[in-house]
Structures are given as structure tokens and as C-alpha cells.
Amino acid sequence: PKNDDIHVFVKDKLYHRNEAKVSVFDSSVQGGDAVWEGLRVYPEGIVCLDKHLTRLQESAKTVAFTDIPSKAEIKKAIKMTLDANGMTDETHIRLTLTRGEKITSGMDPRLNQDGSCLIVLAEWKPLVYDNTSGIKVISTSQRRNSPQFLDSKIHHNNLLNNIIAKIQANVAGKDAGLMLDDRGFVAELNGSNLFMIKDEVVYTPYAHACLPGITRATVIELCQKNNIEIKEADLTLSQLYNADGVFATGTMGELTPVVEIDGRDININDQVTEKILQLFKNSVRTLCEKL
């Protein structure tokens, strides 16, 4: 399927992609002042929809948006968009909520007088990574924000840190950039969370300087339910290099093995990693919610 003819929901109606626009006075254009969610659609519904909508609303409340749409309103906009595009499978949705249009350019939120602006962009997009071959990553010089700079629990569109980390990975010819926190501990990849396995115990960084990913939460729950020991911890690069297995998690790539970090090979045949990948595959469609 092609994305040339898709319709996009902006504020209160659908537009053909060529006509779907926000104002140059929109907060997102002038200040990256927006929050967002990525959602994955299966025929069974949308994976962890309610958790994504909660995170969107909580992010918007944290940055003090006004007229934040209700979950029912967002679901209605998503349904209109999917119906208009005849989309049932292989769809990825990017929900964006901007602070809205300003009366002049400028950073002061008081210049926003019309409330926030919801964008529902649904595209035909398969998973970004082939989770059989795995990805190679490189640690970057770009630190992930910790709460003393910008609370990582806000899922915002100020993505320059992550984009710079991704550029460093691109320059190195690798798939993703690993970001440390301001103390030098592992935070996450530029667009996904990280897990490692050592001696049959699963570890993931505390969600202090990484996004508390919804796929991350699903993996933690799956481990707990299946008697696999899981711990949040401060992890160093050395621990990752010497792990028995490493994998990344996110809505765009689901669970993806990491096969190389900074030129060190990571074992791809770790049994616990394989078990978790399988558990996720078996349960992802049961986590889908209908609109």
C-alpha cells in the first residue's frame, strides 16, 4: 500500500495529505512545543491504546496545554482517520498534540489563544527493524536529558538530542545511537528502550533518563508473569558489552535484538532473550484495544 493518497486529521477534520497543514504560527513550528505518541495498529486493534492516550494527556498536562482533548475525542479522531484511509493492518499512527496556533511568533504560551491542536497521521508502515537480524548500535556523545534538565517522562517533540544521536550513528554506519545519562549510565537508544540479560536475570535502566516506554512496561510485565527475574538498575557500557543478550523495545520496532555495541559482538543466541521475544510475539495481539 502507498501513502500518496492518505488523509490526515488536523484539529477537527480530515484533509488529503497535500492539504494537511499547520500554521507557521503553530507552537510546534516556532518552538518544538508539542507532545506525541506512536501507535501500532493490528486487525485486532491498537496496541496498549489506553496507556498511550494516558501518556499523551499526562505529557500535555505537564507542559500546561489548554483544551487537551479527551480520550473519547482522540479515539473518535483516530477512528475517522483509519476509516477514511481503509486501514486495518500494518498501520502506524503518529499522534501529535501541539500547543496550537499563536497570535504572533514567540515562545510565551499566552500567545496561544485557540487551545491545542491534534494531528492524527496514519501511515502504512511495517516495523522499522527486521527482528530476526538485529541491529548494530554505537554509543554517542549526546546525553539523554535527566529530570534536572527536562523530565524524561514527558513525551515531547524536542527531539534534537535524539536526532543528533541518530546522526552520529548514521555517520558511523550503524542502526541506532545509544545515549548515556548525565551520570554516564546507559539511558536508552535514540528511539527505543534497552534491556540486557546477564546470568538469566533481565536488567533495564531506571526510567529516570529514558522514556518510560510502553513496550518497556509490557516486557517488564511479561517477565514478571513468566517467572523471569527482572530488575531496574544503573547500567554501564561495560555491563552491556559483556551481557549475555541485549535487545531494544519500542512501538516502531517492537523487540529487536542488538547484535553489536561499539564494535563488540553481542551474543544473538541467548535463550532468555529468545524466550522474551517469543513471549512478546505471542501476546502483542492480545494487548490490542478496539476503538
Q: Which residues contact 55 (CB under 8 A, 6 or more apart)?
A: 37, 155, 214
Report phi then psi at 225, rounded to 5. Answer: -70, -25
Chain Cα centroid distance, residue 282: 21
Which span sits near ligand PMP by CB under 6 A: 6-14, 246-254, 265-273, 274-282? 246-254
**Which residue of 26, 175, 181, 188 would you call a contact of ligand PMP, by CB under 6 A?**
188
Relative to beta strand 13-16, strand 254-261 is: unpaired
Chain Cα centroid distance, residue 190: 10
Decide whether 28 or 112 has the Cβ nearer to ligand PMP. 28
Which span sits near ligand PMP by CB under 6 A: 1-9, 22-30, 61-69, 186-194? 186-194
Decide whether 114 or 151 has the Cβ nearer to ligand PMP. 151
| Residue 50: its H or E element | helix 49-62
Decide whether 102 or 208 has the Cβ nearer to ligand PMP. 208
Question: What are 237's three cell numbers?
Answer: 557500557
Direct distance between the N- and C-terminal alpha carbons of the chain, in angstroms, rounded to an integer: 22
Q: Which residues within the stretch 141-170 sit at the binding site for ligand PMP (CB under 6 A)?
A: 162
**Which residue of 1, 17, 25, 38 would you call a contact of ligand PMP, by CB under 6 A?**
38
Note whether 215 binds ligand PMP by CB under 6 A: yes
Which span sits near ligand PMP by CB under 6 A: 16-24, 86-94, 191-199, 261-269? 191-199
Question: What are 105's three cell numbers?
Answer: 511568533
Report phi then psi at 232, rounded to 5. Answer: -85, 140
Decide whether 188 or 270 has the Cβ nearer to ligand PMP. 188
Closest CA to 77 of 102, 99, 108, 56: 56
Note whether 214 binds ligand PMP by CB under 6 A: yes
Which span sits near ligand PMP by CB under 6 A: 3-11, 125-133, 197-205, 244-252? 244-252
Question: What are 129's three cell numbers?
Answer: 527493524
- Least distance to ligand PMP, CB of residue 206, Å: 14
Contact 52, 37 (CB under 8 A): yes
**Which residue of 251, 259, 266, 273 would you call a contact of ligand PMP, by CB under 6 A?**
251
Note whether 28 binds ligand PMP by CB under 6 A: no
Q: Which residues within the stretch 51-110 sit at the binding site for ligand PMP (CB under 6 A)?
A: none
3-state secondary structure of 12: coil
Type of residue found at 263: G
| Distance between CA atoms of residues 6 and 243, nearest Å | 43
- Least distance to ligand PMP, CB of residue 217, Å: 8
Q: Which residues of the shown chain bind ligand PMP in the complex (CB under 6 A)?
A: 38, 162, 188, 191-193, 211, 213-216, 249-251
